């Protein structure tokens, strides 16, 4: 079992620092707050949600944890290593990387332009890959958690670029779990119907209820608990933890 320096407050992630991309809003925010509640200090990446990042950072500090908001555009390749360098100034090496940031834009095969494809690949796949490379270069012991998507079992044609990049994230998770072992564990959480897309109402996800065996829409806390489990389960790597209530089976 790996041992990290602890502040001796009995919390399982004490003494650890997590970089959470897209951590100002939505699931990224919930994950950042959940990890802070279990003892981690947080490097909070955001792109444009500055006010939300400040608010989330204040909530984390009220939990007694350090938090550093870091603004960066994941479309810019040069920004990726700079994010890690900035995050390291919080406490030294980062030992948890949660790749949460993603875009979810509609586009069938006919509608998928080269611009949409390149933007989706850059944010959903290239950024997590190169952030993971930079993370592995600065620590020989830690955890990487990707956010995949349960729908990759049955990719939706109207979100083609998104589905393809999230399918690639599943392969990336399994590949890095082997190549970065034994020091760095790599896992992913694959949410189902949790939050509606930006600009959509709750009805957008509730229409999926008939296909969910557990009969309810998920909550952000369901995803948070899955991430926490993967960070604390020392004999688990290369796994895709489905958090969809049984949808897409």
Per-residue pLDDT for the chain (249 aa), expressed as one digit of tens each?
465 655 456 899 999 999 999 999 999 999 999 999 999 999 999 999 999 999 999 999 999 999 999 999 999 988 988 999 999 999 988 999 999 999 999 999 999 999 999 999 999 999 999 999 999 999 999 999 999 999 888 776 889 999 999 999 999 999 999 999 999 999 999 999 999 887 788 888 888 899 999 999 999 999 999 999 999 999 999 999 999 999 988
State the pLDDT at residue 99: 98
What interhelical angle do 26-37 and 50-62 show, nearest 10? 20
Rounded to whole angstroms, the Cα distance separating 145 from 180 reads 13
Q: Is 159 a catalytic residue?
A: no
- 55 contacts 122 by C-beta, under 8 angstroms: no
State the pLDDT at residue 152: 86
State the pLDDT at residue 2: 62
State the pLDDT at residue 202: 85
Rounded to whole angstroms, the Cα distance separating 116 from 119 reads 5
State the pLDDT at residue 158: 86
Q: CA separation (Å) from 91 to 10, 95, 143?
A: 19, 10, 16
State the pLDDT at residue 7: 47
Say how many Å lie between the first and final Cα of the chain, rounded: 34
Catalytic residue among 4, 46, 159, 162: 162
Q: Is the pTM of this model over 0.85?
A: yes
Quote the CATH superfamily of domain 17-243: NAD(P)-binding Rossmann-like Domain (3.40.50.720)
Rounded to whole angstroms, the Cα distance separating 4 from 226 reads 21
The full 3-state SS of the chain, as one line of letters, equals: CCCCCCCCCCCCCCCCEEEECCCCCHHHHHHHHHHHHCCCEEEEEECCCHHHHHHHHHHHHHCCCCEEEEECCCCCCHHHHHHHHHHHHHHCCCCEEEECCCCCCCECCCCCCHHHHHHHHHHHHHHHHHHHHHHHHHCCCEEEEEECCHHHHCCCCCEHHHHHHHHHHHHHHHHHHHHCCCCEEEEEEEECCCCCCCCCCCHHHHCCHHHCCCCCCCCHHHHHHHHHHHHHCCCCCCCEEEECCCCCC
Domain edges within the chain: 17-243
Rounded to whole angstroms, the Cα distance separating 100 from 16 reads 18
């Amino acid at each position: 079992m790996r041992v990290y320096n602890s502040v001796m407050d009995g919390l399982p992630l004490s003494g650890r620092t997590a970089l959470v991309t897209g951590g100002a809003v939505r699931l990224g925010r919930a994950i950042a707050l959940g990890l802070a509640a279990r003892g981690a200090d947080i490097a909070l990446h955001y792109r444009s949600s500055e006010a939300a990042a400040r608010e989330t950072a204040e909530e984390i500090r009220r939990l007694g944890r350090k938090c550093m908001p870091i603004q960066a555009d994941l479309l810019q390749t040069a920004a990726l290593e700079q994010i890690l360098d900035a995050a390291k100034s919080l406490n030294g090496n980062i030992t948890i990387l949660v790749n949460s940031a993603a875009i979810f834009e509609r586009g069938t095969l006919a509608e998928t332009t080269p611009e949409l494809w390149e933007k989706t690949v850059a944010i959903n796949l290239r950024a997590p890959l190169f952030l993971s490379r930079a993370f592995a270069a600065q620590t020989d012991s830690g955890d990487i958690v990707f956010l995949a998507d349960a729908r990759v079992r049955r990719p939706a044609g109207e979100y083609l670029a998104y589905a393809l990049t999230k399918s690639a994230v599943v392969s990336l998770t399994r590949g890095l779990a082997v190549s970065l072992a034994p020091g760095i564990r790599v896992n992913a959480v694959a949410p189902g119907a949790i939050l509606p897309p930006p600009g959509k109402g709750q009805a957008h996800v509730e229409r999926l209820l008939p296909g969910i065996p557990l009969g309810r829409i998920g909550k952000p806390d369901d995803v948070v608990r899955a991430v926490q489990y993967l960070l604390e389960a020392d004999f688990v790597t290369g796994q895709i933890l489905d958090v969809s209530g049984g949808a897409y089976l």
